[in-house]
């Protein structure tokens, strides 16, 4: 019986390790690479959470939303499936294949659904499709006890669990999946007790975030974003960051670079030195979205369809390294976690605080992944 407190029950102020691997040409490679990278940073985790996000992993279902769910029990599963059937065409459903290993215990029921919004329901809602889906995800996660949608994007999926990340990777048999982009996280939770749903990546639709750090702005960010229909049920820093990115990118139409310049805004002294046009824009963004400024240490890797973004807090209080080799881009907390995959690199950079490093698929590759 799983009786330990869950995310959402307790918030305690996290270390962690993050890594991201990306092929600009859209070459698909197995999750084994991500496991190898994160394994090297074993000591940055404490066994209370790890997870992966893979992009391009469901090409045969790329037009459908892939929902990954944790259920505590069959009652939650029944209630949730009723909700899903009520709102979506269910194209396929199955248990997510796992491998029983002694390191991973207390697993909930882990299911996967490929869905398409019911056209009539969608029309009734008068919402854009993405908003319809996002609201359904938030509804399930806030109202159906024992059900947690932890992945909801198209042609991507999040795999996470309580345990060390390398064990989580083996548990989910990630060597059997292939994607053009992977992010991975090893967790050292301090804010929350560490539970399957609270492990990273945290995602909404196709946006997934892995995060190293603990943000001191959490409650200011949370209380602001909750005005716009989001519900921070897990009390983790990563959750609120994900929602803010979703709001600014999907709802406000900002590119990821501008999103980064709200989350880790330039200092006023920097803005004051800009030319008039830039100064007006940065002042506008910083003033209007002041409550989305994140302070405290963070390094994040944001996964999205066709790209990755690495971002440090503006004081660069956490480590973050980016390396490139041919069409491959590597991001990690430690350089060694990159060198273990590609000892020889074309370039290695250490992004400045607040300056995002964004990589996207080449045009041709992007069209293929759509």
Partner 1 sequence: MSINFLQPEYEVVRNMDRCITCRVCERQCANEVHHYNADLDRMVSDDSKCVDCQRCVTLCPTNALKIVKTNNCFKENANWHTSDITDIYRQATTGGVLLGSMGTPKEYPVYWDKLLINASQVTNPSIDPLREPMETRTFLGKKDATIHYDKDGNIITKTTPQLELSTPIMFSAMSYGSISYNAHKSLAMAATKLGIYYNTGEGGLHEDFYVYGPNTIVQVASGRFGVHSDYLEAGAAIEIKMGQGAKPGIGGHLPGAKITEAVSKTRMIPQGTDAISPAPHHDIYSIEDLRQLVYMLKESTNYKKPVIVKIAAVHNVGAIASGIARCGADIIAIDGFRGGTGAAPARIRDNVGIPIELALASVDRRLREEGIRNQVSLVVGGSIRSSADVIKAIALGADACYIATSALIALGCHLCRTCHLGKCNWGIATQVPELVKRLNPAIGSEHLVNLVTAWTHEIKEMMGGMGINSIEALRGNRLMLRGVGLTEKELEILGVKHAGE
Instruction: Please give the positions annotated as active site.
Output: 16
As a whole number of angstroms, the distance between CA 136 and CA 215 comes to 28
- Tell me the closest approach of the beta carbon of residue 268 to partner 1, in angstroms: 5
- Tell me the closest approach of the beta carbon of residue 9 to partner 1, in angstroms: 13
As a whole number of angstroms, the distance between CA 239 and CA 160 comes to 14
Say whether residue 130 binds partner 1 (CB under 8 A). no
Cβ–Cβ under 8 Å, residues 112 and 94? yes
- Residue 192: CB atoms within 10 A of its CB come to 27
Say whether residue 288 binds partner 1 (CB under 8 A). yes
Say whether residue 281 binds partner 1 (CB under 8 A). yes
Q: What part of residues 240-269 is at the interface with partner 1 (CB under 8 A)?
A: 252-254, 258, 265, 267-269
As a whole number of angstroms, the distance between CA 238 and CA 219 comes to 12
Q: Which stretch of DSSP H or E encloses residue 195?
A: none
Q: Which two tokens stand for residue 28?
A: 């698909």
Sole binder of partner 1 in the list 63, 129, 219, 257 (CB under 8 A) = 219
Count the alpha carbons within 13 Å of 143 in the hemisphere toward its beta carbon.
10
Say whether residue 127 binds partner 1 (CB under 8 A). no
Sole binder of partner 1 in the list 228, 273, 350, 367 (CB under 8 A) = 228
Helix or strand or coil: residue 301? strand
Cβ closest to partner 1, residue 34 vs residue 134: 134
Residue recorded with tokens 């200092």: 267
Q: What part of residues 189-218 is at the interface with partner 1 (CB under 8 A)?
A: 190, 213-218
Say whether residue 223 binds partner 1 (CB under 8 A). yes
Which positions touch partner 1 (CB under 8 A)? 11, 13-15, 190, 213-221, 223-224, 226-228, 252-254, 258, 265, 267-269, 280-281, 283-285, 287-291, 293-297, 314-315, 317
């Amino acid at each position: 019986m799983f009786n330990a407190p869950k995310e959402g029950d307790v918030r305690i102020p996290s270390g962690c390790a993050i890594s991201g691997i990306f092929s600009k040409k859209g070459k698909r490679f197995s999750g084994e690479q991500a496991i190898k990278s994160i394994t090297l940073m074993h000591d940055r985790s404490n066994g209370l959470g790890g997870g992966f996000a893979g992009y391009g992993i469901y090409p045969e279902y790329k037009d459908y939303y892939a929902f990954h769910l944790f259920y505590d029990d069959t009652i939650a599963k029944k209630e949730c499936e009723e909700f899903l059937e009520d709102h979506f065409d269910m194209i396929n459903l199955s248990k997510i294949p796992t491998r029983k290993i002694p390191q991973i215990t207390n697993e909930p029921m882990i299911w996967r659904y490929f869905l398409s919004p019911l056209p009539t329901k969608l029309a009734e809602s008068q919402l854009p499709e993405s908003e319809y889906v996002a609201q359904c995800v938030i509804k399930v996660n806030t109202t159906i006890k024992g059900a947690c949608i932890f992945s909801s994007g198209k042609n991507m999926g999040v795999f996470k669990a309580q345990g060390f990340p390398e064990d989580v990777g083996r548990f989910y048999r990630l060597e059997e999946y292939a994607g053009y982009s992977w992010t991975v996280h090893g967790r050292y939770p301090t804010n929350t007790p560490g539970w399957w749903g609270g492990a990273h990546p945290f995602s909404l639709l196709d946006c997934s975030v892995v995060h190293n750090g603990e943000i001191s702005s959490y409650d200011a960010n949370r209380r602001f974003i909750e005005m716009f229909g989001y519900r921070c049920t897990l009390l983790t820093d990563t959750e609120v960051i994900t929602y803010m990115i979703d709001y600014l990118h999907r709802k406000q139409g900002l590119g990821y670079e501008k999103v980064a310049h709200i989350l880790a805004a330039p200092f006023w002294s920097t803005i004051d030195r800009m030319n008039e046009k830039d100064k007006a824009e940065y002042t506008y963004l910083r003033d209007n979205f002041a409550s989305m400024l994140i302070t405290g240490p963070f390094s994040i890797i944001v996964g999205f369809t066709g790209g990755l973004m690495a971002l440090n807090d503006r004081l660069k209080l956490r480590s973050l390294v980016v390396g490139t080799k041919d069409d491959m881009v590597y991001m990690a907390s430690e350089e060694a976690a990159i060198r273990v995959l590609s000892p020889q690199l074309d370039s290695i950079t250490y992004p400045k605080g607040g300056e995002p490093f964004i990589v996207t698929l080449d045009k041709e590759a992007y069209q293929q992944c759509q």
